[in-house]
Chains A and B, each alone.
Chain A
C-alpha cells in the first residue's frame, strides 16, 4: 500500500484526530500542573521563610542581638546550596551577619547576586521577608526560588516529551490500524470485484474471531449465499421450464398435429381439441405453480407477515378436507397445542398445509389415518402431517421436496410434482425447515419453525 493512499484513509484520519485531541487535552493538563505546582512550592517557600524568621526573632528576644549575630552567621555559614539566605544589618545598613541582600520592602522577590568566591553565575531569584528589630537592626530571610523554576522546567520537559511520544504513538498506531483495516476492507473489495467479474462463488475470508470485520464478513457472505441461492433458483426455474414444460408442449403439438390429419369427423375433431385445451390447462397450472414458487423464494412476502395461529390453521384445514378424506375412508385427526402463534403469511401457510394434507390423502390407500400435529418442541413451534400409509423409501425422502420429483410409486397418481416443492419454498420463507421422516409405519412431514427468539432470521 502506498503512503498517500494510507493518508487518505478514514482510520488514518481518525488517528490524526485522536492525536489532536490528545494534544489538546495534554496542553491544559500541563498548564494546570505547572501553575498549581508553582503556587504550592512558593507557598512552601513563604512558610519556610516565615517560620525561620519567627525562630530568629525569638532567639533575639530571649538572648539578645549578640546571640542573634552568632546564630545568623552560623546559619549563613552552614547553609547548603539553594537553602535559606540571611542578612542582618544595622539601622544604617552595615552588615552585621549573613550576606548583603538588597531589599526594598517588607517582603517580595529579590535578585541575589552569586556569592563571592562562587563560580560566576546569573543572580538567583529569591523570596524574602525583612523585619526591623526593636533596636532598628534589619533582619532578612530569603529563600531561593530558582529551584522552583527548575522543577517547573522539569515538569514542562516531561509534558513535552509525553506529548511528542503520544503524537508519535498516535501516528504509528494510526498507520498500523489503517493498514490492518484496509487489508480487510481490500479483501471485501476484491470479493465484490470478483463477483462483479462473474465469480459468484467468491467469498470474503472470515477470521477466527468475532470482531466487527468478522461479523461484517459473515453477514456479507450470508448475503452472497442468499443471492447465489436466488440465482440458483432462477436457473432452476429456467431449466424446469425448459425440460418439464417442453415435454407436455411437444405432446400437445403431436396431438394437434394428428387431430388435423387424422380426425375422422367434426365431433372427433372437437373431442381432440377439447383434450388439447385440457392439456394446455395442465401446462398453465404447472407454469403458474413455478412462478408462484419463484415469487415465494424471492422473499418479498416476508414483509407482510402477520400473527398466524398454527393450531387454528390445522383445525380449519382438517375440517375442510375431512369430507374428502371420508370419501376415501381415510381419517384426519388434529392434535393442536393452544397459543401456537407465529409471524407468517396465512395464505401461503394454508396452501402449504393443504399441499401436505392432499399429498397424504392422495398417496395413501383407503383406511389410512392422517394426523395433523401442531405442537411446541424445545420451545419451537412444529407443524406436522403424519400418516400411517406405506411411507416413502429413505433414499427418496429428501428428494420429494424437489421440483417435478415423483417417487417411483407415485408416477401413476395424478399431480404435477410441485406441491411439496412449493411447501419447501413456503417453509424457507418462514425460516422453517421441512423434513420427511419415517413415521413407522408411514410418512411424517414436519415443519419446524425457529424458536420465537430467532423468528424472522432465515
Chain B
C-alpha cells in the first residue's frame, strides 16, 4: 500500500515509517498540515495517517479541506487527546477511523488494512459467504454446509463483521467499536466470551475452523482452503 503519514513528532513518524516499511508498504511523510494537505491532494495514496495536532493546519482542518476538495482517500486519525468530543470532531470532519496514542503497532496495522480495503461505496449486499458458510443479511439466517446455525443478535453482528473483513485481522478494540458500539474498554472479557461462543456454534463439529485467534493481535475469519 502507498501510505502518507502526516505527523509532526519525528519519533512517532519514524516509528510508524519503520513499522510500515517493514510490512512492505510504500511510505511518504509530511511534518505539517499544509504539506500534508498538499501531498494528499496532489498524489494518490491508499490510506492517510493524520495526526490531530499539527503545525500550520491541524488534523481536523486538513481532513475537512481534503473532503471538501473531493479527495476520498481513507483516513486514520491519530490523537493524543482521548476525549469523546475529540473523537466525534475527527469523524465529523471526514476521518474514517480513529486511534488514540499510544497504540500497539498491530492495532494500527489491522485498522489500516481494514480501511484500505473498505469498498469505496458500500454495496447493498444481501448475502455474505465464506467457504461453506453463508449469511443471509435480510433474514439474518446463517448456515454452514447447509446446516442452520442459530445465533444470538450480537453473535450475528460479530460474525457479520468478521466475514466482512475476512482474511484480515480485527482487533478487540475494532470489535468493541464496530459490533458493540462501545467506545470504552470493558474490564471483563466480553469480546473473548462472545468469540468463543460464536466459535462453538460456527466451527464446532465441522472439519475446518474458520475463526482463528492471533495471539496479541486479534481475530480473523478466513477460508481454510
- Which residue numbers of A lie inside 8 Å of B, CB to CB? 280, 284-285, 288, 291-292, 295, 300-301, 319-321, 323-324, 327, 347-348, 350-351, 354, 358, 361-362, 414-415, 419
Contact = CB atoms under 8 A, between A and B. Distances in A.
Contact of A295 (B83, B100, B189, B190): B83
A323 B197 contact: yes
Given A284-B102, A323-B197, A358 B85 contact: no
A302 to B, nearest CB: 12
Nearest to A323: B193
A291 B82 contact: yes
Contacts of A414: 187
Given A300-B85, A347-B84, A414-B187, 15 more contacts: A280-B102, A288-B100, A292-B83, A301-B84, A324-B188, A324-B189, A324-B193, A348-B84, A351-B182, A354-B182, A354-B184, A354-B186, A358-B187, A362-B187, A415-B187
Interface of B is mostly: loop
Contacts of A324: 188-190, 193
A323 B82 contact: no
B188 A358 contact: yes
B18 to A, nearest CB: 17
B194 interface: yes
B183 interface: yes
A365 B121 CA distance: 49
B140 to A, nearest CB: 15
A323 B186 contact: no
Nearest to B185: A285
Contacts of A292: 82-84, 184
Scoring A300, A321, A323 by chain B CB atoms within 10 A of each residue's CB, the highest score goes to A323
A376 to B, nearest CB: 27
A301 B85 contact: yes
A321 B152 CA distance: 13
Contacts of B190: 320-321, 323-324
A351 B186 CA distance: 8
A323 B188 CA distance: 11
A251 to B, nearest CB: 19
Nearest to A280: B102
A365 to B, nearest CB: 15
Contacts of B85: 295, 300-301
26 contacts: A284-B102, A288-B82, A288-B100, A291-B83, A292-B82, A292-B84, A292-B184, A295-B83, A301-B84, A319-B152, A319-B153, A321-B190, A323-B190, A323-B193, A323-B194, A324-B193, A347-B183, A350-B182, A351-B182, A351-B184, A354-B186, A358-B187, A362-B187, A362-B188, A415-B187, A419-B187
B38 interface: no
Nearest to A321: B190
A288 B183 CA distance: 12
A319 B183 CA distance: 18
A455 B82 CA distance: 29
Contacts of B193: 323-324, 327
A321 B154 contact: no
Contacts of B100: 288
B147 to A, nearest CB: 22
Contacts of A358: 186-188
A321 B192 CA distance: 11
Nearest to A274: B216
Nearest to A327: B193
A295 B183 CA distance: 15
Contacts of A320: 154, 180, 190
Contacts of B153: 319
Nearest to A300: B85
A350 B184 CA distance: 10
B173 to A, nearest CB: 12
Nearest to A359: B187
Given A285-B185, A319-B153, A324-B193, A295 B180 contact: no
A271 B180 CA distance: 33
Scoring B82, B84, B182, B189 by chain A CB atoms within 10 A of each residue's CB, the highest score goes to B84
A81 to B, nearest CB: 94
B154 A319 contact: yes
Scoring A285, A321, A324 by chain B CB atoms within 10 A of each residue's CB, the highest score goes to A324
A83 B167 CA distance: 125
Nearest to B87: A347
Scoring B83, B152, B153, B180 by chain A CB atoms within 10 A of each residue's CB, the highest score goes to B83
B102 A295 contact: no
B182 to A, nearest CB: 7
Contacts of B182: 350-351, 354
A252 to B, nearest CB: 14
Contact of B188 (A288, A301, A321): A321
Interface in B136-194: 152-154, 180, 182-190, 193-194
Interface string B193-216: 110010000000000000000000
Contacts of A361: 188
Contacts of B180: 320
Contacts of B185: 285
Contacts of B84: 292, 295, 301, 347-348
Interface in B69-112: 82-85, 100, 102
Contacts of A351: 182, 184
Nearest to A351: B184
A291 B157 CA distance: 31
Nearest to B184: A351
A6 to B, nearest CB: 49
Scoring B82, B183, B197 by chain A CB atoms within 10 A of each residue's CB, the highest score goes to B82
A301 B187 CA distance: 24
A43 B34 CA distance: 95
A351 B185 CA distance: 9
A300 B88 CA distance: 13
Nearest to B102: A284
A167 B193 CA distance: 85
A348 B85 CA distance: 12
A434 B85 CA distance: 24
